[in-house]
Chains A and B, each alone.
Chain A
Amino acid sequence: GENVEQHPSTLSVQEGDSAVIKCTYSDSASNYFPWYKQELGKRPQLIIDIRSNVGEKKDQRIAVTLNKTAKHFSLHITETQPEDSAVYFCAAPVNYGGSQGNLIFGKGTKLSVKP
């Protein structure tokens, strides 16, 4: 079944620097890769996603890149701000039982942006 590995587990950057979080997946048939942000004490929320027919997607200061050959995808945050401090999770589809499309999550990256 699908396995998602996420690195690093913690990341500390200065305000204004860039941050990159990487995930690898094992199932070459996976076709959808979302990223969720979870602020302290809050619920996870989708911030960006990418489908396997696209190599890169941008939304203001965040972008996601996908390398299907290497089976890895990355989240890029530019010009980081203190409000970017949170835990970020990558995810990929996994099959359980007879149903496709459930999401398996990486273990998360705690990003700290220092003013």
Chain B
Amino acid sequence: NAGVTQTPKFQVLKTGQSMTLQCAQDMNHEYMSWYRQDPGMGLRLIHYSVGAGITDQGEVPNGYNVSRSTTEDFPLRLLSAAPSQTSVYFCASSYGNRGRRELFFGEGSRLTVL
């Protein structure tokens, strides 16, 4: 049981490049989300999905796109990377987003934009 798997673990981009952070979960969770973690800022929600075909914006969505074509996968796309997007990105999933709902996080993807 792999849980939540993120790839790549590390990535260096140049300003203006695009890339996709991959996230997959094998727990049949309905809810998936992406957070970014910056020093002293905690975890901030970028986008989330409550099921296949349904996505919505979180606290800091600008510069990122997501899609949810299957229950298992929730990729995060950076269309034109900027230095402000240098961060550690965590994908998370849970059974739902109501009631007691434990978030299961991936190992994180450290992105540096030069």
Q: Could you tell me which B residues sit within 8 Å of A by CB distance?
A: 33, 35, 40-45, 48, 50, 56-59, 90, 96-103, 105-108
C-beta contact mask, A13-34 vs B, less than 8 Å → 1, else 0?
A: 0000000000000000000101
C-beta contact mask, A79-115 vs B, less than 8 Å → 1, else 0?
A: 0000000000100001011111111111110000000
Taking the complex as formed, is A12 at the interface, i.e. its CB lies under 8 A from any CB of chain B?
no
Number of A-B contacts (CB under 8 A): 66
Taking the complex as formed, is A56 at the interface, i.e. its CB lies under 8 A from any CB of chain B?
no
Contact A43 B106 (CB under 8 A): yes
Contact A44 B90 (CB under 8 A): yes
Please name all residues of chain B whose beta carbon is closer than 8 Å to the beta carbon of A9 when the two chains form the complex: 40
17 contacts between A and B (CB under 8 A): A32-B101, A43-B90, A43-B107, A44-B43, A44-B105, A46-B103, A96-B59, A97-B56, A99-B50, A99-B56, A99-B97, A100-B97, A103-B103, A105-B35, A105-B43, A107-B40, A107-B42
Q: Could you tell me which A residues sit within 8 Å of B by CB distance?
A: 6, 9, 32, 34, 36, 42-46, 49, 51, 89, 94, 96-108
Q: Is the interface of B mostly helix, strand, loop or mixed?
A: loop
Q: Is the interface of A mostly helix, strand, loop or mixed?
A: strand
Contact A96 B105 (CB under 8 A): no
Please name all residues of chain A whose beta carbon is closer than 8 Å to the beta carbon of B103 when the two chains form the complex: 34, 36, 44, 46, 103
Measured in the bound complex, the distance between the Cα atoms of B21 and A80 in whole Å is 37
Q: How far is the CB of B63 from chain A (nearest CB, A)?
A: 17
